[in-house]
């Protein structure tokens, strides 16, 4: 890919994009995926792409100038077999990827190369993956809600169109399943472009996602970019920039709304930590890189709205050891407008999606945005569930009999609410045998109102488990 577009040769000497002669360097040392390269002439600029003379080519990005002759570069693909004294050519420009409407329906890697075996991508324009964020004066803000069809999210932590939402949870509580269900629910109704960025994804998950999107019939409006778990840290560290460059092209040049789904932001932080250690930087608290905050901000601040279009981002965030005070988690929190917290306790009880109804929230859940009725019902639900949480210790020690009649009634309604917020997903239908359900926000509000008003006090709580709208509980009753 890079022979024609990024390096031309003239009498054996590489020349850059502007036609000037570029430097040649030799490998001095290799540590993991970090390469020290010595140049006799001027040093390449930071973020410049270097390409080796070997076959296949090794691509590296200049990350530091060590002295007057040596640069430290980060390998972006496999450096297997690299030796000292191997020649590297300075391309004179950063990594560039193709941006074109032909990317729709394709699966790409960090370099914008197809990995779906559907042939090459024809591209007229190449764009650097390092783009400056939109100035504040050119950004647009709105207060429009993005509906997902998932009951707990639409009522208690509504998403902002053009905002950033985070899915927080430890290992195995359902982040990827929730992301896949949101893709299925939203992409079919979403008029713009959907862009999935897999950072540190397992190969199995990438294949399953491709199959799900194909089955939903929305592959033609979807682009997938992957820096997979088995790739070098440099690829996982930069693949987010590749996805954002594509998203910005469709927003700014094609004037489309972009739905950007990222799984998993923690893997981006983890790759940065690996790179930082290999670069010899002193680690900060809990072993993270000292530049964690700025690296995350560089990625997040490119996600914004303009007059021409919007980028709405939904990001899965792995929470190591379920510790929400972890620096990677707290830094991510600060960039979000909505946050959905997944609970291991709810997952262990089989209450899926395992969304923590009390810890999740959104800045969009305000009376002047969602309306008086939605706001009032959401607050009543949270109050009921919070009171139930306070009573759990008394119930476990003394039993329900020691509660007052009013408290017993509240506990019964809280348990029915918890079960009403469970929902069968289309992406898990092959495992559960239960068809997936999408529920409108109006149906969720009505269902919660009727439970809180006591209309379902006599209905067994199990009949509200894994249903769509509240009327399905009555159908169970009739059956």
Any residues with CB less than 8 A from the CB of 156 and at least 6 apart, and which? 355, 357, 360, 361, 362, 365, 378, 381, 382
Q: Helix H segments across 150-232?
A: 151-156, 175-187, 203-215
Longest dimension (CA), the chain: 92
Cα–Cα distances in angstroms (integers) from residue 165 to residues 253, 286, 363, 430, in the given order:
25, 25, 10, 28
Cα–Cα distances in angstroms (integers) from residue 292 to residues 61, 162, 239, 275, 318, in the given order:
19, 24, 17, 11, 16
Q: Which of 118, 202, 211, 307 is catalytic?
A: 202
Can you tell me the distance from the alpha carbon of 95 to that of 113, in angstroms, rounded to the nearest whole number?
Answer: 12
Can you tell me the distance from the alpha carbon of 28 to that of 85, in angstroms, rounded to the nearest whole number?
Answer: 6
Quote the strand ranges of 270-410, DSSP E.
311-318, 338-341, 361-362
| 201 is annotated as an active-site residue | yes
Burial of 84 (0-12, 13-18, 19+ CB in 10 A): exposed
Can you tell me the distance from the alpha carbon of 221 to that of 103, in angstroms, rounded to the nearest whole number?
Answer: 9
- Smallest CA-to-CA distance from 247 within 186, 325, 192, 209 is with 192
Instruction: Report the 10 Å Cβ neighbour count for 391.
Output: 16
Which helix (H) or strand (E) segment is 293 a member of? helix 292-300
Which helix (H) or strand (E) segment is 30 a member of? strand 24-31
The dihedral of CA 127, 129, 135, 136: what is its sign? positive
Cα–Cα distances in angstroms (integers) from residue 173 to residues 262, 322, 329, 332, 337, in the given order:
17, 10, 16, 19, 22
Q: Which of 22, 164, 175, 238 is catalytic?
A: 175
Can you tell me the distance from the alpha carbon of 135 to that of 105, in angstroms, rounded to the nearest whole number?
Answer: 31
Q: Which of 201, 205, 248, 274 is catalytic?
A: 201
Check: CB of residue 116 under 8 Å from CB of residue 232: no
Check: CB of residue 51 under 8 Å from CB of residue 91: yes
| 443 is annotated as an active-site residue | no
The dihedral of CA 139, 143, 147, 152: what is its sign? positive
The catalytic residues are: 175, 201-202
């Amino acid at each position: 890919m890079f022979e024609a577009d990024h390096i031309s040769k003239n009498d054996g000497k590489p020349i850059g994009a502007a036609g000037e002669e570029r430097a040649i360097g030799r490998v001095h040392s290799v540590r993991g995926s970090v390469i020290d390269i010595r140049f006799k002439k001027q040093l390449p600029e930071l973020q410049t792409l270097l390409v080796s003379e070997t076959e296949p080519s090794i691509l590296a990005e200049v990350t530091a100038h060590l002295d007057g002759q040596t640069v430290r570069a980060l390998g972006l693909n496999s450096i297997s077999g690299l030796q000292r004294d191997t020649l590297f050519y300075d391309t004179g420009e950063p990594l560039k990827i193709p941006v074109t409407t032909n990317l729709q329906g394709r699966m790409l890697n960090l370099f914008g190369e197809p990995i779906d075996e559907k042939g090459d991508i024809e591209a007229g324009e190449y764009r650097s993956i390092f783009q400056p964020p939109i100035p504040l004066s050119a950004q647009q803000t709105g207060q429009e809600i993005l509906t997902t069809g998932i009951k707990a999210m639409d009522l208690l932590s509504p998403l902002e169109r053009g905002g950033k939402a985070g899915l927080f949870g430890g290992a195995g509580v359902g982040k990827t399943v929730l992301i896949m269900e949101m893709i299925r629910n939203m992409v079919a109704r979403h008029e713009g472009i959907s862009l999935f960025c897999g950072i540190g994804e397992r190969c199995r998950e990438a294949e399953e996602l491709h199959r799900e999107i194909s089955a939903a019939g929305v592959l033609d409006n979807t682009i997938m970019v992957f820096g997979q778990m088995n790739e070098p840290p440099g690829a996982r560290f930069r693949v987010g920039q590749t996805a954002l460059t594509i998203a910005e092209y469709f927003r700014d040049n094609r004037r489309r709304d972009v739905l950007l789904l990222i799984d998993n932001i923690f893997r981006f932080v983890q790759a940065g930590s690996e790179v930082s250690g290999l670069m010899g930087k002193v680690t900060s608290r809990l072993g993270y890189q000292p530049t964690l905050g700025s690296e995350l901000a560089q990625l997040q601040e490119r996600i914004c709205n303009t007059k021409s279009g919007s980028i709405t981002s939904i990001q899965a965030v792995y929470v190591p050891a379920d510790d929400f005070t972890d620096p990677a988690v707290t830094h991510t929190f600060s960039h979000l407008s909505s946050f959905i917290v997944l609970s291991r306790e709810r997952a262990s009880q089989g209450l899926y999606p395992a969304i923590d109804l009390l810890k999740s929230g959104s800045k969009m859940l305000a009376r002047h945005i969602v309306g008086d009725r939605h706001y009032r019902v959401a607050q009543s639900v949270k109050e009921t569930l919070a009171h139930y949480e306070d009573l759990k210790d008394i119930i476990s020690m003394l039993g329900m009999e020691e509660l007052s009649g009013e408290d017993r009634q509240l506990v019964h309604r809280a348990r029915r609410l918890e079960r009403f917020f469970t929902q069968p997903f289309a992406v898990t239908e092959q495992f559960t045998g239960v068809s997936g359900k999408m529920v409108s926000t109006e149906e969720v509000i009505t269902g919660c109102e009727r439970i809180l008003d006591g209309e379902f006090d006599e209905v067994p709580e199990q009949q509200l488990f894994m249903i769509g709208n509240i009327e399905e509980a009555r159908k169970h009753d009739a059956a």
